Structures are given as structure tokens and as C-alpha cells.
Structure 1
Amino acid sequence: MPCGALAAPPTGGNAAAATELDRVVVTATRQPDDALLVPAAVDVVDAADLHRAQPGLSLSESLQRVPGVVARDRQNQAQGLQVSIRGFGARSTFGIRGVRLYSDGIPATMPDGQGQVSHFMPGSAGRIEVLRGPFSALYGNSSGGVISMFSADPPVAPELSMGIDAGSDGLRRESLSWHAPWRGDRDGGALVDGEVVDGDGFRDHSASRQVTGQAVFKGGFGDGGRYTVLLNSHDLRADDPQGLTAAQLRGDRRAASAGALNFDTRKTVHQDQAGVHVEQPLSAHHALSLTAYGGTRDTTQMLSIPVFVQANPLQGGGAIDLDRQYGGADLRWRWSTQVLERPFSLVAGVEYSESGERRRGYENFVGAQLGVVGALRRDEGNRVSGRDAYLQADWQPGDRWRINLGLRHSQVRFASDDDYVTADNPDDSGRLRYSRSSPVAGVLFRVTPTTSVYANAGGGFETPTFSELAYRADGASGLNDLRAARSRNAEVGVRGRGQGLEYSAALFDSRTRGELVVVANEGGRSIYANAGVTRRRGAELSLSGALSPRWRYAAAYTFLDARYGSDFATCAAAPCGDGDVLIEDGHRIPGLSRHAAWAELRWGIDADTDLILDGRFADRVYVDDGSDESAPAYAVFDLAAERRFEAFGLQWRGYARIENLFDREYVGSVIVNDGNGRYYEPAPGRGWVIGLRARKAFD
């Protein structure tokens, strides 16, 4: 990734990647040699790997080829994808936590660190970029890693595309796209994509329907100016089967929990978003860029909190109504010059982001009728804002050397105004403020024109989210008085390519103070506190290449040792006392596999036909801090074929895929520290999916 992209969130510009420091860099790695110039762990999943013999329904299909990244499909669209990078984000029970997310440069992570990818459209993406390690701290709060998805560039001629997919468990998908350049001599074009995805779900009570649309407009103006405009909309309606206990898992793996059926647990989401990125060179050495965005996300959710639990006057109810508005802007200046007659660039910028929400909670019953919206039990207005300033310098002191230095200062402010105050329910309003500076430094040495070694180090931090601030560990009213988790990170790595081979390897170490952990679970409430010290260290390896003109391979492996470095106490309910359970130093952090691997073997039968065998392995995953239970290790394989051909004046692409080829029973994801012991989310047995795409290009 060119250094300019590390200093701030990636943007949606269209310029080619720079190899000279006096050019404006607005995107991450786009050319093969760019990765050899970056002192950080960066991987790119390009369009060929995103769309080959798979439906493109989820990031989990493609991110498994990136070492250090875990993307688990939970078979539950109401809770969404579960993503972690080098162990950061694994404890999130919903949404994505600890990882920064971007779509065409527009943030999909709120200022408090909670993110969503439900509106992402992998089937229409041009590439996905992943940044791991210390340099991700330059993206601000909760940057355990960065995942950026970019739309494709406009084609040279207008194209109309249609697609249909079908699969086991009632999977149905229809998609339609129109991609076209601007008329005349204008650079750029328009990309309009839409899709409808329906499914009955592998498990009982897991049906869902998603409707997603996106429009991207790219082009140039004036003297070298560029713009990108992004519009998208997403609707979701999904049933929630919830997790299973170990006993339930041994019985019926397809079952939903009793609470899910009794209360008809479900979720609806409607999200609209708009964003724009503009860049303008001011001279041969100076350039400005601006990114601005805004959106709304309205969520309703029915939970299975028992009726008797809601007899407590402090209980917030089992039906959620959440209306959120969010937005922000990022202004960046880039200066390119020479220092000691060697290329030097400096990027400086400021960013502001804000999210405001109205959160209401209702009883999930009316009389004896369950799963309906009842009396009001919670009503509050919440606001979180982030103010950031960043600076990054990139210098080439020699032909083989590259040095990067960066600093980002972040302020995150929380404000909650409680409008539901009664004699038995005190005022829970509160204010909290967090501030942190995150420095990073990296150095790269190009051993040969095709091999680079690098090292980097830096600090990072992670504030609590509003969900984690909702309840205090001492049982008192007001926001939970949590500290931000602070981490120190370091890595060394090597990256290169030879004849028919591309490879990368990295060793990393991360120490965190004040890790946020669940200390109590009761009546639908998860209560958080700061643990002492945690440590994540490990190794990553990726390989890809050609065995012969028709045979290609790719593989990724991750070793991760993630443990608590000091004792802390948990309990069934706050405030903790006689029922404390001591989690001792050395216990493994739950939700993480010690070993994970993925491999693919591709046979090009001819120029238009591919046969693909891929497999993945995940080691045992502990599901709670006490390491009392775990999901066993597993290995599964998929077999796929793809055929490309022309007929009736159209270009066609058809594929068929058998998933879990040997019908292995395994747990695909876990719910860490679930208070009811419903830790396990089983994955499907053997399944199938087929798809057909048709494309018409207009001259």
C-alpha cells in the first residue's frame, strides 16, 4: 500500500497507484510491485478470486485466503458476519468490533468502533484490501485491522449484467447491474448494482430476505481533479435462531433455541447512505482531498428475554427500536518534495465523525402473548463523536530503503441522555471522554527487486461501544466507567515473488492493557469491565503460484497464541461478590483458534473451464473465559467448477459448487461468554449452490 493510503482511511479515487512520491495516492495497493514498497502486512483479494466459482454473498467466501483474518458465516443473518484480525474483534456478539471497515472509502464503522458489513456487495466488488498490524492504528479507534472493499472501475463500453443463484436450504438470489462509461471524452463512469437474496436458512427459524442497491459515479474535472460519489441502500428482514447449548447441539443441529421460537426472535434493518470523495492537485507538489458521508440506519429487534426477568424495574425490555443517524468528513493535504535529495512525502489531515441515536426498549409481551411489542421500558438519546488529527511521513533514504513515520491523535466523546426516569428507575444519563495518541514507525529494505523485508511498531487503543457502557459492574446507574484498552504492537515480515511464486510471512506481537471483557451476564444484560493484560502473538504465511500452465495453488496459514496476562474475576450477576470466578493468568482468550489454515488447488481444464478444490482447517475454539467448554477442531473441503462461454450474443459464466464435500458436522462460529450457555452456532452439512451470469456489452 502506498504510504499516503496508510495515513487516513482509504478513499474511492480512481488514480493508478503511485510509485513516485510526487503523485497523489488515494487508494491502496493496485499494482503487484506496490506491496513490495510497504512496511506493513497488506493483502489484496482481486476480482478474479472474488468472483470465481462462488456466489459472492459474504466476505467469508474470500477473506479466508488472507492470513491472520477470520471471517465466520454464523448462519444467522440477524447477527451478521463474525470477523477478527489477529485476534482483535473475536468477542463481538453482533456486528464487527475492533476492525475498521470501509466501502469505497466511506466508513462502515461508527466512532465508538462498532461496524457493519450488511450493505457490502462482494459480488459486485472490484477488490478487497486488508491491512494488519501496527499501521492499522493510523485509522483511529478500534483499529485491530482494516478491511476495505472497492467497486470495479467503469468499463470501456456499457455493460448490462444479470445473474441468478440457487442453493440448498432455499437459497435464492437475483442480481442486475448496469456499468457504463461517461459519454464523450470524459473519464470515469457509472456503476449501478442491485440484488435480492432470500433463504430459508440451514437452521429452524433462520429465514431471511435482503435487498441491496448501490450506485457509484466516478470521473474527473478541471485540471487533474477526481471525484467518486457512492449511494447505497439496504433492507434486511431476518429470523434469529440464537445459539445452542452443548446438549442441544448433540441433539438437533438444525434446531433453534426454545426462546427463539417462543418469542419469535427477529431483526429488521433499513440503511441508506451517501458519500463523496473529491481530490484536487494544487501544484506539482501539493494536493488536497476531501471525503464526506452521511447515512441513517433503523433497526428493530425482538429478543427472548423472559417475562419474569422484566419484572425488575431496571430492566430495559426485550424489544429494541433503534434509529441512528451518522456522518463525517475527512480533509487531507499531501506534500511531495525531497529531503537530502531523496524523495519525501508528508500527509496531514483532520477527521470528524459522529453518530446519534434514539434507543427505545419495550417489553416483548402483552399479557400472555409473547414476541410482540409491549410497554415502554427504555428511552434514551445517545451521541458519540470522534475528532482526529493525523500526520504521516514517507522517505526513501536510498534506492532500497523506505521509512514511514506516523501519528494519529483521537478524541472520542460519549453522551447519553436518559428520558425514561421513574421512581424505581434512576437517571442513567452520563458523559465520558477518551483521548489517545497512536504513533507508528516502519522501515522496509528491498533485498532484491522482487523481495522486501520490513519491520514496524506502534500503539493503538480501543474505546468501549455504547453497548458496553450501558450497564455498570457495581449495579449503580449511569454509564459504565470503563477505560480504553491500550495496545503495543510490533511485527517483522518478508514479502516477495519469483518465477511462478508469490509469498509473504510475518511474525507479530501485541500486548494490551485494559482489555474489555464480560464480567457478568444476567437477564439479557452483558456487563463489561477492564481486564489487566492480554497478549496476542503469532505467525502468518501465505503462498500462491503455478505448478504448471494449467495448475495453480494458493495457501494461507495463521498461528495465534492469545492469552490473558493477569487474573480477573467474573460472576453471574453484578455486583460481583461471593460468586466471583477467578480467571487466572495464562487462560486463552475465547473465540480464537490457535491454528487456522486454508488452501486451494485450481485446474484449468481449458482456457474457459476451471475445477477448484479448496479446504480449510480451524483448531479448537474455547467459548468462555474459564476455558470450560470449546468447539472442536475441524477440516472441511469444497469442490467447484466454473465454465465461461458465449452464446446468443451474450457472455456467460456458470458455476456449480459442493460445500462441505464430506458432510462433516462442525461448529462454524461461537457466541463468546453467552450467559445462557448457548455458545454454539452449527454450520451446515453437505450443501450445494449453482449460479449463472449473463453479460451484454454495447459498442
Structure 2
Amino acid sequence: MPSPKINLLYSCIAMCMGVGSSAVWAIESDAEQAVQLPSIKVEATRTDTTYMQTPASIFRVDMPKNDQSAQVNLTEVVKGIPSLQLRNRENYAQDLQLSMRGFGARSTFGVRGIRLYTDGIPATMPDGQGQTSNIDLSSLSHLEVLTGPFSSIYGNSSGGAILATTREGQGKDSIEMSYAGGSHNKNRAAIVLQGGAKNQNEPSYVISSSYFDTDGFRDHSGANKVLSNAKLTWNLDDGSKINWITNYVKIDADDPGGLTRADWEVNPRQVAKNVLDYNARKKIDQTQTGLTWSKPVNDQNELYAMAYIGQRQVTQYQSIPDMVQKNPATPYQAGGVIDFKRDYYGADFRWTGKDLLPNTQFSAGVAIDAMNEGRQGYQNFNETGDKGVKGALRRDERNTLWNVDPYLQASWSFLPTMRLDTGVRYSNVHYESKDHYIVGLNGDNSGKTSYEEVLPSVVLSWQVIPEALLYASYAKGFETPTFTEMAYPAKGGSSTLDLRPSKSDNYEVGLKSSNVLGDFNLATFYIQTKDDIVAAENIGGRATFRNADKTLRKGVELAWNKKLWEDLEINASYGYLDAKFDAAIPAVGTVKAVQKGNAIPGIAKNQAFVGLAWKPEQGFYAGVDAQYMDKVYVNDINSDAAPSYTVASVYTGYVWKYADWGINGFARVDNLFDKNYVGSVIINDSSGNQKPQDGRYYEPADGRNWSAGIKVSKQF
């Protein structure tokens, strides 16, 4: 007999199909009830289709016309996407924790396994390491969140993709000034200047800058951040379009680290003593600029080009005890200070042809990326015993990486209601490391390697009725280790380049329906991965990684949104994700063996969301939402887990517009019922040779907290 989960899936499919059929009847029987939904083109899949006609699991998040939050983190605006688990660490030194269908969950800082783009410019390095900190919410227009097999068109580390698009200048010149404050002395001030082109071939512009600081929810978690973004847009006589985007972000943040379970339960605000002793902190300084250009050659052909360049500098003081670094048994210890400067650049060239064959569209292109970094490591103490300072050199190397990825996509509508989308990308990544610190037992770790894979994808879609689309897809995924994960050889390994790339087979069946009862998205997926990259051991801050032979992810996702009445809208979603090791992993060093069937840590099996909002153009607006997140295991052996939780948020505000003036004020409360819960976990943390239960896995979430703000705009 089918399992209860399979029966649930069949019931959901039948419900959506039934909804689609009834919608046709409703429109035919009562024309006054027919609703013309907006036609929104999807950019992420490059298929030139509308949102509900795209055969992929994709979600669009539009920035609210009126601010409803302080606009500091993506967690404030991205909610209710069933394939996405987005967690706020309450730690601005380590960025948000983000995973899609389990990809990226292992990351202890930044984003891995998922591709990030802003206005077509990569926010993910060629090795797969990315960050959300440079996304400017003040000037953001919308986000597209793409998961499932279709994301393989982005090549390496594309377990999913998030594409952020900022606004383009329109209409009169205007200025927006805003301020928001809240709990823990949060302060954010921002200014946005914008205007449309006054004459043909002149640019429109949006220039945004903000400053944020906070004392932090936890002890030793204060931070300040400067973020600026500028976008110039030219629409030229020949039909071509040029965007020039420049982005700058500077962050200076204390790092509170994780807590043991016992410490979290006693006082979630506290930090471990050595965090204070060594003043754990991080400084980030990043600047990048890029151009995108598109030109329709004729009715059938279009050209696209993108080029970018950037620099990222990071200095991080960790809380590794000096005795670990002095220990003769740890000659490979690279010190408690990480200091690197990274230059990166790249380009993407693409041609798109329509109707070269009947009912077809082709795209062909090549993506080129490269980066080089000088990375040093230092002791976090000096000879006089001062801690939390830059001491003697313990690491010095030059790392370089490049890729040249050709790709091809084709879409063929072979029947009026059926379409076949195919794609292939040759993804290749070339690493080289030159070790300039060879002292005593710390030998020469220089070396180079290349990873490559052909990534095919295929999607078959059927427009069952005008209001319902059914599709099935398959693609091969590919993820290389990052430079951080190749920093040291695992015990028993001979080289930092021993790690193999993970390779996955991704299957998905989905159903979409848009009708008078709302928009429905249903997807079920099955993902087999070989050589998944997982933690090997972590001794005194010296983290190493290894490959797990097999992992398995399978699940169901359902999302629904509906405009209930006038300006009242509802959004609801549910995600089920069963992620586990599909083969045993033998013990390595002090790390215990992992049994087949253990859950992959950092991933919630169930999550749900519901939000209700009243959103008029002017006057009072308000909203309330609630989110449920299942427990997550903290390590591969599943010895402990952060408990499940449900949290709620509520907000209200008022919008007033008169002539060329606009005013918007808001107030909100998050974690309304003051739930004490763990916002995120540090996977496989051991904090030295400790027992699993003594690991500092837990990063507590904020309790009940408030924020309020006001924005004033004026057109000229």
C-alpha cells in the first residue's frame, strides 16, 4: 500500500487539478469574477516565460512598496519559501545561514552550494563561496529564488540560485531618507537618490547608501555596516540596454561564537570565555563593479554580455587558545588570525535565437570567472602574552582559481500544450595553491588540480488546462570544495587537494495552478548525491573535510497565495525534506563513524509558514505571520538536536502621499511570544578534543524584539 506521505502527495495533486478545472467553470459562468493576473517574466531560467508557465520550482519575492522592517537582513523580507531554510545567526561576522533542499546547510559562515547574483553580477566566488551581505534592500526591486534541477544551468555549486534585481530610476528626480531603530540599540539610516532619463540615450539612476549599527542580542555581538549601491541604466536608440552597477560594503563585527546546549539553556546571551579573551571579531571590505549589456539584433536574435571585477579583504580574529597553537603536536596549526585579500573578475557572453526552427528558442554562451588571493595566518597572541592581537606568521600562500564554462539551452514547443526544455553546461574549475610557509614539520602544501563535469538537464512540461501546468525534470548537479574546505588535508590524506567534488542526480515533478482561488505551487523531488562534502575533524580550529560516499534527499513542497478581499492577502507554505546519509562513513581521527540512515545535520525535516497582510496603496497597513521549523541535528552522528520552534511576527504602519511628498512609518514586533530557541547551528563543532555533547553548536536567536522607522520621500 502507498505510504501516508505518498497519499498526501496524490491528494495535493488532485486538489490543485480540481482547483484548475473549477476555475475554468467560474470564469465562463460569471465573467465579472474573472481576474487578470499580472504577467511577470521569469529571468532566472532564461526561458522567456511567465512566472506560472515556467516549468521549475521558482519563487518571486517583490520588495513591499512600503517598508515593513528595518531592511537589514534578507530574513526580514524572504519568508514562506518551502524549499529555502534561511536562518539569522544573530552574528554579523558570519552572515546568514542559507540552504535549499539541504544544499549549503554545512556552511559555518557565508553561503555555500548556492549561486547568488545581484543584477546579473555574481555574488558567489568561482569556488562556490558567497555572501548575502552586499545585497542592498533599500534599492532592491525583487528576488527570484530558483531551486531544483533547473538551477544546474548556473554550473558549479548551483544547488539553488537567488537572483536579486535592484530598481531602475523612473520618473522625476527624487530623494528618500529613512531611519529605523529597535532593540539592542539597532540603528539604520539610509538615503536613496533616483531619477529617470530626461533625454534619449541618457541614463536613469538609483544611488543608495546606508549605515547600520547594533549592540547585538548576545554579549560580544555588536556590529556596524556601511553599504552603498549605484545603478545607471541606458536605453539606447538601437534597442540595446546597458546597466552599470557598483557596490561597496564594509562590516566590522564582533563574533560571539556558539554555545554548548547547557550554556544556551542557562543564558542564551552569554559567550564562551575564550571568545572574550581573544576578542573574536571580523572585518570585511568589499568593492565590485560590473556592466550588463543586451541588444536585440532583429526579431529573432539577441545578444547579451556581462563583465565584472571586484576585491574582497577579510581579517578575522578567532578564539583558538594559544596553547593549541604552541602545542608541538599541532605543527600544521595556521594560527588564530585569518587575513586575506582576494581579487576576482569574470564575464558572460550569450546569444539567444528565436524561431530559427519552428517553435524553438536557443541560447548559447560561455561564462568565465577567475580569482586570486593572498592568504596569511597569524597567531592571535604575541610574545608578551597579549591576546586578540596579530602575532607571528603561521601561514602564507597564494591561491588562484579559474573556470571557462560553455553552455547551451533549447526550448521546443512541439505541441500547442507541450514543451521540451533542455540544457547542457560543461563546468570546470581549476585550482592552484603555492605555499610560501614551509617551516619544520609543516611541509610544502603547494599543488594544483582541476574538477570538471558535463551537466545535462531536461524538462518536459504540459499545459493541462490554461490554469494548470504539469512538469517533470532531471539534471545533474556539481559542487567543488571551496578554498576554505581545502585549507588542510584530512587525517590520513596526503594533500589539501584530496577532496573530490560532489555530484548529484536531481529529479523533480511539479504542478502549478493560477486561478480565482489563488496561485498554487506543488513539487516533489528526489536527489541522490555522491561524494558529498562533509566535516572530517575540527581540532582547535583546524577544520578539515572529507567526502561522504552517498547521501539522499527527498521531499514535498507546497505553496499558496491568494488575494482574499480588496487589499487583504494570504501566503502559506509547507516543506517536507528527508535528508540522510545513504552509506556509512568510517571513523577518521577523533571523529566517530556515521551510520547509514543518519540525518544530515542542519536541515529541518518539516517547515511551515502562514502570513496575512492588509496592503493598501495609502493609509493603514498591517500584517501578521507565523513560522514553524522542525528540530535540526547538530552533527553527523545525530547525538543532539536544536529543538523545533514556532515564532510569530506582527507589524503595522501608515502611508501618506500628497503631491510630490510621501511619508511611511512602521512598527513591528518579532518573536512575539518571546520564544527561547536556537536560530542556527554550527555543524560538527567540536571546539577541540571534546565529547560531542560539549560542542558549541548552538547560536541562539533573539527573544521578543521590536523595531520602528520612518521614511520621507520628495520628488523634484
Q: Please indicate the TM-score interval, normalised by the length of the shorter structure.
A: over 0.9
Instruction: Quote how far apart the aligned CAs of 1:547 are.
Output: 2.8
Q: List 4+ stretches of structure 1 deviating above 3 A.
A: 16-19, 25-31, 185-188, 474-478, 603-607, 646-649
Correspondence 1:195-344 to 2 at 5 A? 195-311=210-326, 312-339=330-357, 342-344=358-360
- Aligned CA distance change for structure 1 residues 447 and 325 (closer, same or farther; 3 Å): same
State the TM-score, normalized to the length of structure 1: 0.93
Cross-structure match for 1:47? 63
CA offsets 1:567-593 (integer angstroms, 9 cap, x no match): 00244xxxx3xx562211100000000
Cα 1:336–1:119, aligned 2, differ >3 Å: closer, same or farther? same
Q: Which residue of 1 aligns with 2:85?
A: 70
Cα distance, 1:106 vs structure 2: 0.2
CA spacing shift, 1:666–1:189, aligned 2, 3 Å: same
Encode CA deviations 1:154-189: one digit per residue, 9 max, x unaligned: 212211100000000110000000011122234751
- Over 3 Å counting, the alpha-carbon distance change for 1:27 and 1:186 in structure 2 is farther
* SS class of match (1:582): coil
Does residue 684 (structure 1) correspond to residue 702 (structure 2)? The answer is: yes
Equivalence for 1:661: 672
Letter in 2 for 1:297: R
Deviation at 1:503, TM superposition (A): 1.2
Amino acid at match of 2:435: D
Paired amino acid for 1:380? E
Tell me, in whole angstroms, the C-alpha distance in 2 between the residues paired with 1:357 and 1:279.
Answer: 32
Q: Distance in 2 between matches of 1:580 and 1:36?
A: 47
Q: Equivalences for 1:454-603 in 2 at 5 Å?
A: 454-474=471-491, 478-571=495-588, 576=589, 581-603=592-614
Q: State the partner residue of 2:22.
A: none
How far the C-alpha of 1:150 sits from its partner, in A, is 0.3
Residues 134 and 187 (structure 1 numbering): CA distance in 2 closer, same or farther, change over 3 Å? farther
Contact 1:240/1:266 (8 A) holds in 2:
yes
Partner of 1:362: 378
CA drift of 1:346 comes to 0.7
Equivalence for 1:621: 632
Q: Report what 2:361 is aligned to.
A: 345
Q: In the alignment, which residue of structure 1 is the partner of 2:24?
A: none
CA distance in structure 2 between the aligned counterparts of 1:459 and 1:90, rounded to whole angstroms: 19
What is the root-mean-square deviation of aligned Cα atoms in Å?
1.9
CA contact (8 A) 1:188 1:220 kept: yes
Residue 166 of structure 2 corresponds to which residue in structure 1?
151
| Count of equivalent residues | 668
Partner SS for 1:350: strand
Q: Is 1:518–1:570's contact at 8 Å kept on the other side of the alignment?
A: no
Paired position in structure 2 for 1:609: 620
User: How far apart, CA to CA, are the structure 2 residues paired with 1:279 and 1:54?
Assistant: 34
The partner residue of 2:51 within 18, 27, 35 is 35
Alpha-carbon separation, structure 1, partners of 2:215 and 2:168? 34
SS at match of 1:65: coil
Q: Tell me the alpha carbon deviations over residues 243-270 of structure 1, each in whole angstroms, 9 at most, x when there is no partner.
A: 0001111221101121110000000011
In the alignment, the residues of structure 2 paired with residue 17 and residue 370 of structure 1 have an alpha-carbon distance, to the nearest angstrom, of 59
Q: CA deviation at 1:334?
A: 1.2
User: What is the CA distance between 1:647 and its match in structure 2?
Assistant: 6.2
Determine the C-alpha separation between the residues in 1 that align with 2:554 and 2:696. Answer: 29
Checking the alignment, whether the CA contact within 8 Å between 2:508 and 2:523 is kept in structure 1 is: yes
Paired letter, 2:52: L
- Greater Cα shift, 62-71 or 468-477: 468-477
| 3-state SS of 2:64 partner | helix
Equivalent-residue separation in structure 2 for 1:319 and 1:523 (angstroms): 13
Identity value in percent = 37
Q: Match for 2:442: what amino acid?
A: N
Q: Per the alignment, in what secondary structure is the counterpart of residue 76 of structure 2?
A: helix
**Letter aligned with residue 697 of structure 1:** Q
Corresponding position of 1:12: none
CA deviations over 1:263-298 (Å, ceiling 9, x no partner) = 000000110000001112223222221100000000
**CA displacement at 1:343 relative to structure 2:** 1.5
CA displacement 1:449-471 (0-9 Å, x = unmatched): 22211111110111111111111
- Mapping of residues 126-141 of structure 1, within 5 Å: 126-141=141-156
Moved more, 177-186 or 399-408: 177-186
The code of the aligned residue for 1:34 comes to T
TM-score (norm 2): 0.91
- Aligned partner of 2:205 in structure 1 is 190
Q: What is the match of residue 636 of structure 1?
A: 647
Asked if the contact 2:481/2:499 (under 8 Å) is kept, the reply is yes
Change (3 A) 1:217 1:17: farther
Residue 323 of structure 1: how far off its partner (Å) = 0.3
Deviation at 1:65, TM superposition (A): 2.1
Helix, strand or coil at the partner of 1:569: coil
CA contact under 8 A between 1:268 and 1:300: conserved in structure 2? yes
Q: Show the counterpart of 2:17.
A: none
After superposition, give the CA deviation of every residue in 1:288-319 in whole Å (9 maximum; x if it has no partner). 21100000000000001111111233211111
Structure 2 Cα separation of the partners of residues 219 and 329 of structure 1: 20
For 1:482 and 1:548, the matched residues in 2 are separated by 55
Q: Distance in 1 between matches of 2:464 and 2:674?
A: 46
Answer whether contact 1:63 1:69 (CA < 8 A) is retained: no
Match of 1:82 in 2: 97
Range that drifts further, 672-681 or 55-64: 55-64
Q: Quick one: distance in 1 between partners of 2:222 and 2:607?
A: 30
CA distance in structure 2 between the partners assigned to 1:187 and 1:560 by the alignment: 50
Q: 2:711 aligns with which of 673, 679, 693?
A: 693
Query: Runs of 5+ in structure 2 lacking a partner?
Result: 1-37, 688-694
CA 1:323–1:602 in 2, change beyond 3 Å: closer, same or farther?
A: same
**For the residues of structure 1 that align with 2:76 and 2:244, how far apart are their CA atoms?**
27
Contact persistence 1:520–1:570 (CA under 8 A): no
CA distances 1:607-630 after superposition (whole Å, capped 9, x unpaired)? 521121101000011000011011
Contact 2:605 2:631 in 1 (8 A): yes
What is the distance in 1 between the residues matched to 2:617 and 2:426? 54
- The secondary structure found in structure 2 opposite 1:78 is coil
Cα offset, 1:338, TM superposition? 4.5
Comparing 404-413 with 595-604, greater Cα deviation is found at: 595-604
Q: Equivalents in 1 of 2:103, 2:578: separation in Å? A: 12
- Aligned AA (1:323): K
Aligned mate of 1:671, from 654, 657, 682: 682
Amino acid at match of 1:388: D
Residue 6 (structure 2) aligns with: none
1:604–1:610 Cα contact (<8 Å) kept:
yes
Deviation for aligned residue 1:696: 0.8
Q: CA deviation at 1:549?
A: 2.4
Please report how far the alpha carbon of residue 482 of structure 1 lies from its aligned counterpart in structure 2 after TM superposition: 1.1
Distance 2:530 2:151 in 1: 18
Name the CA shift for 1:412/1:688 in 2 (closer, same or farther; >3 Å): same
Q: Contact 1:236/1:270 (CA < 8 Å) preserved in 2?
A: yes
Which residue type is aligned with residue 332 of structure 2? L
Secondary structure, in 3 states, of the residue corresponding to 1:260? helix
